Structure 1
Amino acid sequence: MRRRSLLLAVPAGLLTLAGCGDDKSDKVKPGASPSDAGSAPAATVNIVSGPLPDITAGTKFGEKPTVAKGPGEPSSDLAVKTLIAGKGAVVAKGDFLQANYLGQIWSTAKVFDNSYDRGAPAIFPIGVGQVIPGWDKALVGKKVGDRVELAIPPALGYGAQGNAQAGIKGTDTLVFVVDVVNTFGGKSSAQGKAVAQGNAALPKVGTNTDGQAPSIDVPKAAAPAKLVSEYVIEGTGAEVKAADNLLVQYKGVLWDGGKEFDSTYSRGQLANFSLQQVIKGWQDGLAGKKVGSRVLLVVPPAQGYGDKAQSGIPANSTLVFTVDILAVM
């Protein structure tokens, strides 16, 4: 998988400049791991409950908030307060956190970034050094449905250098309101309605949604000559576009013999990639499918790796995948 900078996937206002993947690769495969994460500061972080500025409008979960200026001097510690308590899954270190947020400067209330106006939450790894340390320290352990307010001192934000692109000085304390929309980890699965699999000439895929790898039973028959893309579980999300970046669980086996050659379940790590950077069978087979779905793909050699052998994949192989489309990034 091409290691691409997460700056392309997450608004610049939240990212550290370190820990971004390089952009060098050979031919991209579906299924490689996300970029290696960086590290947050090892020093102990004190978390306090305030002071924090008032939310003066947009007080409900999912509403764009209006936040007052900071009241007096901010704490030198990380201030964290849960404004609305959710009841969903707990955010774990290394998860891909899906969140709406607004960020502004303590002393001026100047908003430097927000996802609400973009009309879609951001998704990024949490707790592993891919966002500013204040986020990593504050949001691991929160629940889906939480609205959290943060006041992040410079040392846990952008440090003494600040972030000139966002208009943040090295002395600025940052205030965020964060709505935790969802969290995705190694046990995440498609969520939707199972679709009948009545074609005996096609592989049958398990419909379990417990985070375990679904079974793939390949028939003892000739492989189809054309690409197959069928729902196993049909989700209710938006349709995937050709230019989207996806977050997925998947498993791949060979048509001949059914041997597994790649799996996010085996690695315990989700895959994220641009649909334009994977094999043709994935590009054609996943575009138009709904987020939240599990999709069976049977990829003939011409839309896979052709006559070029890959690790665990002989030349001229027909490939069978089950792909859970968890989110568009």
Structure 2
Amino acid sequence: MRRRSLLIAVPAGLVTLSACGDDGSDSGQASSSEASPSASAGQSAPPPPKIVDGPLPAITAGTKFDEKPTIAKGSGKPSDQLAVRTVIAGGGARVAENDYVQANYLGQVWDSAKVFDNSYDRKAPLVIQLAAGSIIDGWRYALAGKKAGSRVELAVPPTWGYGSQGNAQAGIKGTDTLVFVVDIQDVFNAKSSAKGTDVAQDDIDLPKVGTNTDGKAPEITVPKGDAPKDLVSNYVIEGDGAELAAEDTVLVQYKGVLWDTGKEFDSSYSRSALTSFSLQQVVKGWSQGLTGKKVGSRVLIVVPPALGYGDSPPADSGIKKDSTLVFSVDILAKM
């Protein structure tokens, strides 16, 4: 059985892993009055659709990649299968099932051309996993195999959208076919790493972290001597993305070792699965250590006991009471 991340500082039942609505803040998720492509709760998975070429309405304005598009009203009867067209072919990484994609998108109803959601106006792309239960199946099947840098148009019938129940809050009926334009900005998976400039690690009293960016776990070398009493948060690789705010949700790769022994106690690399969480739901050392750091970076965080698990470490974690924890964290995206 794969071990769950040890970082979550709240009961597991309070942690949600699928994208959902928010208050319209700069988080990359849809506001509460809109319908993001997140899967509906309790929705059973239909059989895979047949991928067809059309029909698909024309994109009449905003025709460049990552430019907000205008889509014509659907003409005639839409397909009862999944219509997909690559409008612009990108040359980046290829999307696979269970990958995370970072994308801007616009969605509207086929019959009325009513726009029910778009990320362009929020100026915050969506980051979401292409996995069953996380996203509507129309996106899962349409985007698999596409490359980063691509613009994809798709028409999703109810079967692979919001089902017969629709989404009343967004004005989507259970009979509505939905049309999306999706600009795939980036793709993340278990092989993803930080991207940026190496930063000198010249403090001999602090751990050294490897700078490899091949998707493998970096080596962490802990020095002999006493652990620092205060939180340490230093760039190992400095990216050029947005700075994280204290309330952000992030997608990361990470590895944690004990200061006293250098022994690994937790790692997303060993699970071959990325981890996402709100900075308000993790141990204080992570929340404080990552706030203000840039997306794309690798960060060394040394967490003293008071900002970690103190005298109450997780059971069977290998962490003793009052342990100082050392982490390498790759900040892949802000969700």
| TM-score when normalising by structure 2 | 0.90
**Match in the other structure for 1:316:** 322
Shift of 1:129: 2.9
1:35 match = none
The whole-number CA distance in structure 1 between the counterparts of 2:201 and 2:44 is: 45
User: C-alpha deviations, 1:55-103, integer Å up to 9, x for none?
Assistant: 0000000100000001211111110000000000001111111110000
Match of 1:4 in 2: 16
2:251 pairs, out of 237, 247, 250, with 247
Match of 1:190 among 185, 188, 194: 194
Looking at structure 1, the residues matched to 330 and 95 of structure 2 have their Cα atoms a distance apart, in angstroms, of 20
Match among 14, 26, 41 for residue 37 of structure 2: 14
Cα deviations by residue, 1:152-205 (Å, 9 ceiling, x for unpaired): 111111121111011011111110000001111111100000011111111000
- In the alignment, structure 1 residue 286 sits paired with structure 2 residue 290: yes
Kept after mapping to 2: 8 A contact 1:233/1:294: yes
Distance 2:191 2:36 in 1: 29
- Equivalent residue, structure 1, for 2:156: 152
Matches within 5 A, 1:178-327: 178-310=182-314, 311-327=317-333
Which of 104, 107, 123 is residue 111 of structure 2 equivalent to? 107
Query: Is the CA contact (8 Å cut-off) linking 1:93 and 1:128 kept in structure 2?
Result: no
Q: Deviation per CA, 1:113-147, whole angstroms, max 9, x where unpaired?
A: 00000001001110333111111111111100010
Task: Indicate the SS of the match to 2:186.
Answer: strand
How far apart, CA to CA, are the structure 2 residues paired with 1:193 and 1:40?
43
Q: Is the 8 A contact 1:127 1:137 kept in 2?
A: no
- Counterpart of 2:39, as a letter, is T
Cα 1:105/1:176, change in 2 over 3 Å:
same
Higher mean C-alpha deviation, range 49-58 or range 128-137: 128-137
Cα offset, 1:14, TM superposition: 1.4
Contact 2:268 2:275 in 1 (8 A): yes
Does structure 1 conserve the Cα–Cα contact (< 8 Å) formed by 2:109 and 2:115?
Answer: yes
Q: Which moved more, 1:5-14 or 1:242-251?
A: 5-14
Gaps spanning 5+ residues in structure 2: where?
1-7, 23-28
Identity between Structure 1 and Structure 2 (%):
65
Q: TM-score under structure 1 normalisation?
A: 0.91
Residue 84 of structure 1 pairs with residue 88 of structure 2? yes
SS in 2 for 1:266: helix
* Count of aligned residue pairs for this structure pair: 310
2:135 to 128, 131, 138: 131
Aligned-residue CA RMSD (Å) = 1.3
